[in-house]
Structure 1
Amino acid sequence: MTTLSAAPTTTIGRTRSRLSSLVWALTATHFVSRAGGVARSFLVLYLTQERGLSATTAGAVLAAVGVGDIGSQLLGGWLSDRIGRRRTMLIGFLGTAVALIALGAATTLPAIASAALGVGLMAELYRPVGSAALADLPANDRIRAFGLLFWAANVGYTVSTVAAGVLVRQGYGVLFWINAAAAVVAALIVWRCIPETRPATAETTRRALLPVILRDRVMLSMVAIHIVYFTVFLQVFSTLPLVMTGDGLGPGTFSMVLALNGIAIVVVQPIAVRLLDGRDTASVLAVSMLLAGVGGGLSAVVHGNVAYAAAIIVWTLGQIGVSVLFGATFAGIAPADLRGRYMGIASTTWSLGAVLAPLLGTTVLDHAGRTTLWMASSALGIALFIAQRLIAPSLRNRTNQLAGGN
């Protein structure tokens, strides 16, 4: 078995075992960070019960975390291109540990808000950086590598939700310390096992991102499509609980529905990676976005546990298709010298969707009702399908052009 050096400058892709070691090390960091992310699940309860904040104030603190999340995608991409993938991941994981400990110790609102912003800014820093590191791999290896990361992150998230429910019985404070410890463990994995993968670029040839991306119609179109997609996709987490409550179904039923989503991902996603590898990317994305929209739209006409479960399965199949190809697709259209920043912008589409989904979804639900909300979801799913098909030729040409340049 090949052992990776901790030195910051190495070359990837020389041997199959070396490449596999990089992918598995990145997978380990994603699993550990997600599995150990127990504090965030109970943050709103900690703020209201332990710190005595009102629900509105606690919501503002959570919003600060969300703002940090958006910033972390852009900062992570920029740093990974400037100082390297490895150093940026170390900053992110160690910074997360410090910010979590600070948040757990903060007692005043300014200190709590500042620490929360820091948690958001540091905790997600590794995501665009890890994506950039996988984007540095040969194109043929990217789909399986990104699929493995997505799978590991979901398994880790499942572990964290179960563990948090058990650990919180010992008090909220232990959640912050365990979360911080997990971040340190992830940093150790980076330090010991992950080499630097950033392509060598002369200082004189460095390009600014903005002039390039403003002329990049393929990237701008993909960003717009994915912002809309994530806004639709995340309705399941922002408005579906309210709709199910209106049907007389309690939180326990919603938790079971989400558990079904997690189980389906763990079981189906590895199979999907094998099935989708080599398929036309634009076609798979188009069908997947259609399924996600229609799956959400089914909630307009269904009632009861079994019907909601069926709708979630359709929605989950769409989620898996997009998630398996998301990283590899953006990696395939990113110029080598701007990969980190391109992947950072790609990750931001999720964060923006997470902000827009509850704002727009709850507004439509309140003023137009559930039928309008979920019919709009289906309509947007169809629109995304059409948009993805329209951009398909340009996407294929760009991907083939850059793959040929590698």
Structure 2
Amino acid sequence: MRGWLGQAAGGLPRQFWFLWAGTLINRLGSFVVIFLAIYLTSERHFSQSQAGLVIGVYGVGGAIGTTIGGVLADRWGRRPTMLTAQFGAAALMLALGFAYGYWQILAVTFLLGVATEAVRPAFSAMMVDVVPDRDRVRAFSLNYWAINLGFALSAVGAGLAAKADYLLLFVVDAGSTLVTALIGLMFLAETRPATGHHQRKQPGGGLVLALRDRTYVLYLVISLGSVVVMMQHLSTLPIAMAADGLSAATYGWVIAVNGVLIVLGQLFVPRLIEGHDRSRVLALAALIIGVGFGLVAFADAAWFFALTVVIWTLGEMLQSPSNAATVAALSPATLRGRYQGLSSLSWSAGTALAPIAGGFTQEHLGDTALWIGCFAICALVAAGHLITGPRRERRIEQLLATPAAPATADTSVPA
């Protein structure tokens, strides 16, 4: 066990562990998003459409926030961007708890989405800055594990807090965000590489350069297919299960299999895929995800639906750290914030597109067409990764051969 722990978590920089601890603490207190729809309809007595609009506004704010956060992370710095967004998110979370008018809630929720999502590109860029390329799959696996562990525990805690007082949800969520910000304030050093004068003069401040990176944009477009398929578990999957006469409670424990598997098995993934070609791992992950969702077409009982969740979760466990490591490797040092922001934006786009495309297919073509279509999309994604993989690897080799400018602080000392 000691040897396995050393392989899974040993030798990573000290600053990574502060980032990891902040992720876990923040996720442990992430109460509000889980129960926001229930809070708006039961406690504030808004209609379902009004609650849906509030959640949609949060998503719009998040898309704007991740774009702004990526640019600020490169121009202003990782640390100040993270701290400003985190302190702002904590204050806005409390404000949302005390907001009563519908338009007040809409406005605060939009700003909360901006602040919450603006943290992500700066956080990811800082993690890439401090973790060398050889250790990034391990680092992102550990971070993904912390996200899922925190989310699973917060779901239980949120239910208990909601029974006591809904305001407690907002207070605890704001408190966990504040603690995360204080960890950053006290223990995190700035890691943004120095930017040369010629780089500062590039048109669009570097954002246009990121969008012109055809290799990177093509990778995001290919990966978008996997996102659209995976997000079906939140929209069309519960509808399909209900059509088979299964209750909402049954859907709850079936989908909980996803979180349990990730918590139990994610830390074994880096050793499993170590030394394998990134593109082949991503292609295999896409195929496994496609098989899992494709089998839903034949599922008619709770155990069968749970089996499909097991299958596509295994694909997700391979896909997530490999995707994060690939995005990191394709990001030039001085543009990491923007590249991470574009990656987050593509996930937001996939999350928004998934229920629209899935719902339309389910309504007009039926469940069988939807789930077989999911398999076909993932097969195309796998083929796309295999075809474009060599081009990506050549680009990554070029970036690794280019010496990066020194960061403003030395963060290379391992824990």
Tell me the TM-score normalized by structure 1.
Answer: 0.93
1:73 to 58, 66, 70: 66
Cα distance in structure 2, aligned partners of 1:214 and 1:100: 33
Query: Is 1:50 aligned with 2:46?
Result: no
Q: Which residue does the alignment assign to 1:381?
A: 378
Segments of 5+ residues of structure 2 without an aligned counterpart are 1-9, 404-415
Deviation at 1:250, TM superposition (A): 0.8
| Map of 2:161 onto structure 1 | 167
Partner of 2:412: none
**Is the CA contact (8 Å cut-off) linking 1:144 and 1:277 kept in structure 2?**
no
2:144 corresponds to: 150
Corresponding letter in the other structure for 1:47: L
Cα pair 2:225 2:378 within 8 Å, conserved: no
- Structure 1 residue 333: Cα displacement: 0.8
- Which aligned pairs between 1:274-285 and structure 2 lie closer than 5 A? 274-285=271-282
1:284–1:203 CA distance, 2 compared to 1 (3 A) = same
Aligned position for 2:90: 97
Give 1:126 shift.
2.1
Which residue type is aligned with residue 182 of structure 1? S
Please state if 1:24 is matched with 2:17: yes
What residue is the counterpart of 1:262 in the other structure? 259
1 CA distance for matches of 2:127 and 2:275? 17
Give the SS at the match of 1:107: coil
- Structure 1 regions of 5+ residues with no counterpart? 1-15
The CA deviation at 1:278 is 2.7
After TM superposition, the score normalised by the length of structure 2 is 0.91
1:127 has 2:120 as partner: yes
Amino acid at match of 1:363: F
- The alignment partner of 2:13 has SS state of helix
> Which residue identity does 2:364 align to in structure 1?
H
Q: Which residue of 2 aligns with 1:6?
A: none
SS at match of 2:303: helix
Quick one: distance in 2 between partners of 1:253 and 1:89?
39
Task: Quote the offset at 1:204 in angstroms.
Answer: 4.3
**Higher mean C-alpha displacement, 210-219 vs 63-72:** 210-219
CA shift at 1:277, angstroms? Answer: 2.8
**CA distance in structure 2 between the partners assigned to 1:277 and 1:78 by the alignment:** 32
Give, in whole Å, the separation in 1 of the partners of 2:349 and 2:62.
10
Is contact 1:47-1:53 (8 Å) kept? yes
Q: 2:368 aligns with which of 361, 368, 371?
A: 371
Rounded to whole Å, the distance in 1 between the matches of 2:32 and 2:379 is: 38
Cα offset, 1:345, TM superposition: 0.5
Q: Give the aligned CA root-mean-square deviation in angstroms.
A: 1.4
Q: Which amino acid aligns with 2:147?
A: A
In the TM superposition, residue 117 of structure 1 has moved relative to its aligned partner by: 0.5
1:65 alignment partner AA = Y
Opposite residue 114 of structure 1, the aligned amino acid is A
Which of these residues, 263, 267, 271, is aligned with residue 268 of structure 2? 271
| C-alpha displacement of 1:322 | 1.1
CA drift at 1:169: 0.6
Alpha-carbon offset, residue 209 of structure 1: 2.7
The one-letter code matched in structure 2 to 1:183 is T
**When the two structures are aligned, how many residues end up with a matched partner?**
390
Cα distance in 2 between the residues matched to 1:290 and 1:97: 40
Offset, 1:124: 2.3
Residues 166-212 of structure 1: CA deviation (Å, up to 9, x unaligned): 11111211100110001000001111121111111134422333432
Identify which range, 208-217 or 318-327, moves more after superposition.
Answer: 208-217
Kindly provide the amino acid, as one letter, of the partner of residue 251 in structure 1: A
Letter of the aligned partner of 2:57 in structure 1? A
**Residue type matched to 1:121 in 2?**
V
1:295·1:311 contact (CA, 8 Å) conserved in 2? Answer: yes
- Residue 124 of structure 1 aligns to a residue whose secondary structure is helix
1:360 lines up with 2:357 in the alignment: yes
Equivalent residue, structure 1, for 2:330: 333
Contact 2:20/2:143 (8 A) holds in 1:
yes
CA distance in 2, matches of 1:51, 1:252: 24
C-alpha distance in 2 between matches for 1:236 and 1:322: 16
CA distance in 1, matches of 2:207, 2:382: 28
2:309 aligned partner: 312
The one-character-per-residue Cα deviations of 1:296-338 (angstroms, maximum 9, x if unpaired) are 1110011112211111111001111111112210111111111
DSSP-derived class of the 1:249 partner: coil
